[in-house]
Amino acid sequence: MAAPSRDGDHRRTFPAFPAREPGADGFAETWWGNAWVSALEEGALDPKRLARGRGYADGGNVDAITVTPGLVLAYVKGSRPRPYRVQVRLRTLDDADWERFLDAAAERPGHIAALLDKQMPHSLAEGGVRLLPGPRDLDPRCSCPDSGHPCKHAAALCYQTARLLDADPFVLLLLRGRGERELLDALSRRSAARAARAAQDKEPAPLPGVRATDALAARRLPPLPAPLPVPAHPEQPPVYPAGPGGPDPFALDQLATDAAARAHALLSTGRDPLADLTLWQDAVRLAAARPGSGLTAGTRALYASLSSAAGRTPAELARAVAAWRQGGLEGLAVLEEPWDPPAGRFDRARPLLLAADLPPFRPWRNRLTHPRGHVQLRLGRDGLWYAYESEPGRDDWWPRGTPDIDPVGALTGLGGATADE
């Protein structure tokens, strides 16, 4: 059955039913639909008119059906070109009847559940308030000249109405005077009020507890159990599957491994080794933990994501990763934070470089630069020297080599560092 249109809670219009297949069974399938058909047939005065009406209904002669309180209305095609206007009237319930019906429905939660599931319980329809019509309760009226009770057009409409009741018992309730939303709201209010009254009538359960003197009495607590031993090392994360549109499994593995290592350090030392890192420092640390070097195809997406989150460029991140791999957090500080070292180690570095047959390095703050501009030493706050390289004539310094307490040792392995050019 097609969905009805609603002009309001008290008016529903259903589209016409199509013609039925030849030899189809009775019009109603539910017990309440069959009760409607029985009321029609037991109150009819002429079985032949009923048979003609059943044929009209089978053939799809009944147009759209409108249901309002106390009335079913439709146009039925007969033997003439112009269809007949047919009404079937049914007495609506008064306020007292509705009060009894609502009380009976709210008394059993299963009644409301059945109605919402488009079912009509026997106990509700045939209880203190009868919802279904009896043999003389249906009042058919038709614009045709036939004075039979009912005429074949009215009988056709009654048969099709049984099919409406099959699909939705709220059609029967609307015929008796109340719309679906109105009834559901009233049932909801009654159920809530009934539950509130039941809660008030129920005696409160005694509260569990102990006497205050017992709770405050001095007592010795048993010792805490010994803590579990700290694992020797964090476990490996599971293997993450790769899926179309899903996250990079390698990135997930890296994050899981990093989280496990951080948790293990916190458990074994009581200190979070990364708690004081800034967003940028942590991004550099994560990128530096990725195997390989430079912006390869495998690291490009990770570098782009981390640099964007920190408000930097992938090139800046790549340089910072080189500094982190050279000396960790201190190596990153040497890259980004020039400072003025006190006299002593910094001043003694230049004579050491000259003694190693190197030319005079130009000093600036914590940095010593080869006169050709291709090698540079930077003194970290940790007392170590960090070597940097650049193309001659360009201020594009990249960390190289291993930090050393000796400035000459920090230059070991750098091409052209010991040549006096």
CB-CB neighbours of 15 under 10 Å? 13
Residue type present at position 24: A
**What is the residue-wise DSSP string for 97-143?**
HHHHHHHHHHH-HHHHHHHHTT---HHHHBSSSB-S--TTT-EEEES
pLDDT in tens, the chain (421 residues): 445 555 678 899 999 999 888 877 777 889 999 999 999 999 888 889 999 999 999 999 999 999 999 999 999 998 888 999 999 999 999 999 988 888 888 888 788 888 888 888 888 888 778 899 988 899 999 999 998 889 999 999 999 999 999 999 999 999 999 988 988 888 888 888 877 777 777 766 677 888 888 888 888 888 989 888 888 888 877 877 877 877 777 778 778 888 888 888 888 888 887 888 899 999 998 888 876 655 565 677 788 888 898 999 998 999 999 999 999 999 999 999 999 998 888 888 888 889 888 999 999 999 999 988 899 999 999 999 999 999 887 889 999 989 999 999 998 877 655 554 4
Residues 6+ apart with CB under 8 A from 106: 112, 187, 190, 191, 194
pLDDT score recorded for residue 293: 55
Residues 6+ apart with CB under 8 A from 25: none
Give the global pTM: 0.47
pLDDT score recorded for residue 416: 57
Please enumerate, as own/partner, the contacts of 314-321 that have beta carbons within 8 Å and a separation of 24 or more: 317/283, 317/284, 317/287, 318/294, 319/398, 319/399, 320/280, 320/284, 320/287, 321/284, 321/287, 321/288
CB 74 within 8 A of CB 86: yes
CB-CB neighbours of 121 under 10 Å? 18
